[in-house]
Structure 1
Amino acid sequence: MFNKTSCLLLALVFSAGLNHAVYASSEEDFLNNEENLDLSPNQLQSIPLLQSLKNLNTATEYQAPYVHELKNRYGVRSLFVESQDLPMVDIQLTFNAGAARDTEIANGLGGLASMTARLMSEGTEKYNATQIASVFEQTGARFSIQAYRDMFVVHLRVLSDPKKREPALNMLLEILNNATFKNNSLSLAVSNNQAGQQQLKENPSRLMGIQFYRSVYGTHPYAEPITGTNGSIKRINPERLKQFRDKFLVAQNMNIAITGKLDTKEAQKLAEYISSHVPQGTKAGELAQPLITDKFVIKHIPFQSTQAHITFGHIGTTRNDPDRLALEVANRMFGGGGFNSILMQELRVKRGYTYGAYSSFSFSQAPGVFSFSYSTRQDQLMDSIKVAHKAFAEFIRQPIDRKQLEDTKAGMLRAYPNNYSSNASINAQLGLLGFYGQPADYLSQYPKLLASLTVKDIENALRKHLHADNMTIVIVSPALDQDELQGILDENLTSTASDNTRIKPKS
């Protein structure tokens, strides 16, 4: 993986030989194209320029791009970052129309958003799939549609030249408004999905993830797989797909992110053009709150394997929670920071139970999840669970190590520029800011917000949002003694509890 300095090195080395017009869709595509890496003597004459690298001011790496909040007369939130470096424009339309909305059309339609995204570019009344692909190819554009749990994302990357940009954008709008979802395309997609479901049964990690979400969320819309199941997608028909599109893929349920070689007036005009050519509609409603358990939930998936797979977790919080950044720091300290994290130290470095153990938060519209997972040998299953759960309980209860906190914050600050290291990454960040209603200046405020977090902030967030006593544990293994496991969990709570802590063993 190339970082920003690597890209600069390559740019300096090749500058003498790459003065001809080369337009790539991303820095990664350019660097992966062997035709662009012809090391001729003429190109190597630029090597002396590398001496200037020692004069780089590292502080500039932390300067976030300025985000314009465009005044869209259609009321559609539109964010824009100007970038004159490449003759490209990235456009992202983000709808509140992810898999969480599947059952708002009808019960039992899991996978509806995903299937809508998958089939939209298969044809309209005017164009078939080949003609659609040809328009994007002729304009040098890249077009994609993807459904997630919360979001339905339409993305276009195209040259900023209006002669290229306008045909590609009009084709995007044609697809968005007039996709036909024909039965033959749907049948093929269902068939392919069935093959994927069969492969899923042979993947213990995927099985564990699906069971975890179902166990944690119950009947909540987040519970089911984004792509649905064999049973649910069989209930999907063209009429249901059109209903989903007409209800959710509308202007008032959308935000727009634009990044690239435009000025503010051009970007505003572009955003309003898009907003006026999408049906207006209404904004999607609030999602229900998931029910939170107050006890351990143990789920076992029988699976013949030399490795056992384990996930711990519970309901977390939303993306707009004021404690989100404190929780991101805490997560990095516990299990999201590689070899320096507590979980990796306890399970791998000290005991060799696993190659890797990781924790994560998902922050979403409705409360997401906190979880940590790893795999280990079958004969180490119970011992590893005891160590992992105890480490988690102690992390919540014990004082935060101040030096570890400062080191973690410094590492996060150094890594943060990756979020705006290219037009594509900036555009993705704008989509998130717009979708979750965050302020336009969040990227530039992040270093200050991170620096202001104290030990007390982290400890308060931990004890409010993380709970060692009401976790869901999913284990994939040939066999499991659930009584023994319950005893281990209760013993951990007893051994780590004190008179002033809320952690108590379950009866």
Structure 2
Amino acid sequence: MFNTTSRLFLALVISAGLNNIAYATSDEGYFNNQDNLDISPNTLQSIPLLQSLKNLATTTEYQAPYVHELKNRYGVRSLFVESQDLPMVDIQLTFNAGSARDNEIANGLGGLASMTARLMSEGTEKYNATQIASVFEQTGARYSIQAYRDMFVVHLRVLSDPKKLEPALNMLLEILNNATFKNNSLSLAISNNQAGQQQLKENPSRLMGIQFYRSVYGTHPYAEPITGTNGSIKRINPERLKQFRDTFLVAQNMNIAITGKLNSKEAQKLAEYISGHVPQGNKAGELAQPVSNNNFVIKHIPFQSAQAHVTFGHIGTTRNDPDRLALEVANRMFGGGGFNSILMQELRVKRGYTYGAYSSFSFSQAPGVFSFSYSTRQDQLMDSIKVAHKAFADFIQKPIDRKQLEDTKAGMLRAYPNNYSSNASINAQLGLLGFYGQPADYLSQYPKLLARLSVEDIEKALHKHLHADNMTIVVVAPSLDQDELQSILQQNLSPAQNP
């Protein structure tokens, strides 16, 4: 009856203007009774509303949400943002129990945290997987359990109605506390993981990432893949999974983030209920400090493909480092800001060596990594490496462009409201603030902190944390002349050398 464009327009108009239309669904069948709808302009109350969009101010300032630091009698840090727009509640439990803790249970158990997260909803002594899923479906709740390098995240989204919230939350606590990790579920997961490991061998970008972390971190807990390897996951058994849960998925190793249609007293009661229905346990210890390389480390992965893949990088710093925001700005200037970034300009815009080149920082409990990567044609490999590394060396040593800095800060400020544009995004931010021990008012303080950053602040942070002379370089290509590459890198360190 309608093409896709007109149906999208009608969905907007009708849902905005007619009270008897509850919602528009996805692309397959926008309305249940399209043929009976009167959509003449005379009956649409939404036309004036659509016209009023012309008058929206383009300089609207977005207010960061107020974050409540809830008092929790169990001593569990609990952050809360009230949002009355939707009758929903988002709850995130963040444990200091990422893959970095795998080998604290026993050596050689890479992938233990990831497997724990994967198998939790497969059943408890009281409920099987089908019954667990049924409870969440009946309450309209969505949940997820995921392990990362630093953290183990449990998330629940459910209606704020106690008749929906309470059974969904109790089921989440049931699987968190009483998952059985049966052998048949573990065997199936291991089998699926082995298939994934086989596919990994055909993905040069993934191979490069794994080799990069191993080369940079050596024996540090961050070195191995979050999901483990075929060898490590074969050592995992139900007893090890339960031991991991009982050691790390405990109240004193957790923080709580709550966002939604509650008041602060209700949120406090909810946080204390959660804290009291999880074993108390102990807080995880500090992670070891990684050891940085003192010179160039070159790793070559032979791989037959039309494109060569390259990653540069080294150990960075922690999330709580006072220089973190300055480094975020610097990263956006160098390679994290799209076409305007230095790396993209040098490699793609000026020379056409690559489709895309990007840099990033990972800020974590122990020092994370700074890296930049791209892919290019085999015949352009050495030239592109020379240009990319020289651009990085110059970025560290040469004065920062003041206009680029101000433009970058302005762009970051405009983009920052995306961090609290929805309940889910707010909840994720609260989880990070709680986990890394940042102040509750960080979201509202961010614009002021960003505005205060000067050229001198950026240059000081660059000289302290970024090093063009001790990088790890991983190259995935059919062949690589490592002597030639070493020579190029050394030449780039000379201030007089130009690409």
The answer, yes or no, to whether TM exceeds 0.5 is yes
Deviation string 1:138-180 (CA, Å, 9 cap, x unpaired) is 0000011000000000000001100011000000000000000
Look up the SS of the partner of 1:355 in the other structure: coil
- Aligned-CA RMSD value: 2.0
Q: Within 1, Cα distance between the matches of 2:319 and 2:30?
A: 41
Q: Within 2, Cα distance between the matches of 1:105 and 1:12?
A: 57
The Cα shift of 1:49 comes to 1.1
TM-score (ref. length: structure 1): 0.92
The Cα shift of 1:36 comes to 4.9
1:200 maps to which residue?
200
Q: Within 1, Cα distance between the matches of 2:21 and 2:166?
A: 25
Deviation string 1:95-129 (CA, Å, 9 cap, x unpaired) is 00000000000000000000000000000000000
Rate the CA distance shift 1:8–1:84 in 2: closer, same or farther, 3 A.
Answer: farther
2:5 maps to which residue?
none
1:465 maps to which residue?
465
Q: Does 1:403 align with 2:403?
A: yes
Q: Within 2, Cα distance between the matches of 1:443 and 1:13?
A: 36
Q: Within 2, Cα distance between the matches of 1:213 and 1:412?
A: 28
Q: Does 1:446 align with 2:454?
A: no
Look up the SS of the partner of 1:393 in the other structure: helix
Q: Within 1, Cα distance between the matches of 2:443 and 2:397?
A: 32
2:144 maps to which residue?
144
The Cα shift of 1:200 comes to 0.0
Q: What does 1:236-275 correspond to in 2, within 5 Å?
A: 236-275=236-275
Alpha-carbon contact 1:90-1:155 (below 8 Å) kept: yes
Deviation string 1:322-380 (CA, Å, 9 cap, x unpaired) is 00000000000000000000000000000000000000000000000000000000000
1:504 maps to which residue?
none
Q: What does 1:325-474 correspond to in 2, within 5 Å?
A: 325-474=325-474
1:131 maps to which residue?
131
Mind listing any 5+ residue stretches in structure 1 that lack a counterpart? 1-6, 23-29, 498-507
1:285 maps to which residue?
285
Alpha-carbon contact 1:394-1:496 (below 8 Å) kept: no
Look up the SS of the partner of 1:15 in the other structure: helix
The Cα shift of 1:57 comes to 4.2
Q: Within 1, Cα distance between the matches of 2:495 and 2:399?
A: 16
2:95 maps to which residue?
95
AA aligned to 2:493 is L
1:505 maps to which residue?
none
TM-score (ref. length: structure 2): 0.94
The Cα shift of 1:249 comes to 0.2
AA aligned to 1:186 is L
2:17 maps to which residue?
16
Look up the SS of the partner of 1:49 in the other structure: helix
Deviation string 1:406-445 (CA, Å, 9 cap, x unpaired) is 1001110111111011110000000000000001110111
Alpha-carbon contact 1:317-1:363 (below 8 Å) kept: yes
How many residue pairs are counted as aligned between the two chains? Answer: 485
Alpha-carbon contact 2:255-2:431 (below 8 Å) kept: yes
Alpha-carbon contact 1:251-1:278 (below 8 Å) kept: yes
Look up the SS of the partner of 1:381 in the other structure: helix
Look up the SS of the partner of 2:17 in the other structure: coil
Rate the CA distance shift 1:60–1:13 in 2: closer, same or farther, 3 A.
Answer: farther
The Cα shift of 1:15 comes to 1.4
Alpha-carbon contact 2:14-2:21 (below 8 Å) kept: no
Mind listing any 5+ residue stretches in structure 2 that lack a counterpart? 1-7
Alpha-carbon contact 1:109-1:228 (below 8 Å) kept: yes
Rate the CA distance shift 1:455–1:305 in 2: closer, same or farther, 3 A.
Answer: same
Q: Within 1, Cα distance between the matches of 2:207 and 2:61?
A: 41
1:503 maps to which residue?
none
Q: Within 1, Cα distance between the matches of 2:480 and 2:295?
A: 19
Q: Within 2, Cα distance between the matches of 1:393 and 1:31?
A: 52
Q: Within 2, Cα distance between the matches of 1:8 and 1:290?
A: 55
Rate the CA distance shift 1:137–1:229 in 2: closer, same or farther, 3 A.
Answer: same
Rate the CA distance shift 1:37–1:458 in 2: closer, same or farther, 3 A.
Answer: farther
2:476 maps to which residue?
476
The Cα shift of 1:59 comes to 5.1
1:229 maps to which residue?
229
The Cα shift of 1:34 comes to 4.7
Alpha-carbon contact 2:18-2:45 (below 8 Å) kept: no
AA aligned to 2:451 is A
Q: Within 1, Cα distance between the matches of 2:207 and 2:266?
A: 48
Look up the SS of the partner of 2:75 in the other structure: coil
Alpha-carbon contact 1:119-1:186 (below 8 Å) kept: yes
Q: Within 2, Cα distance between the matches of 1:15 and 1:246?
A: 50
Q: Within 2, Cα distance between the matches of 1:453 and 1:13?
A: 47
Rate the CA distance shift 1:37–1:202 in 2: closer, same or farther, 3 A.
Answer: farther
* Overall identity of the aligned pairs, in %: 87
Q: Within 2, Cα distance between the matches of 1:61 and 1:202?
A: 47
The Cα shift of 1:17 comes to 3.4
2:3 maps to which residue?
none
Look up the SS of the partner of 2:108 in the other structure: coil
Look up the SS of the partner of 2:118 in the other structure: helix
2:153 maps to which residue?
153
Deviation string 1:259-300 (CA, Å, 9 cap, x unpaired) is 011111111000000000000001000000000111000000
2:68 maps to which residue?
68
Deviation string 1:441-494 (CA, Å, 9 cap, x unpaired) is 101111111111101010101111000000000000000000000000000002
The Cα shift of 1:496 comes to 5.0
Q: Within 2, Cα distance between the matches of 1:102 and 1:299?
A: 26
Alpha-carbon contact 2:318-2:366 (below 8 Å) kept: yes
Q: Within 2, Cα distance between the matches of 1:315 and 1:272?
A: 38
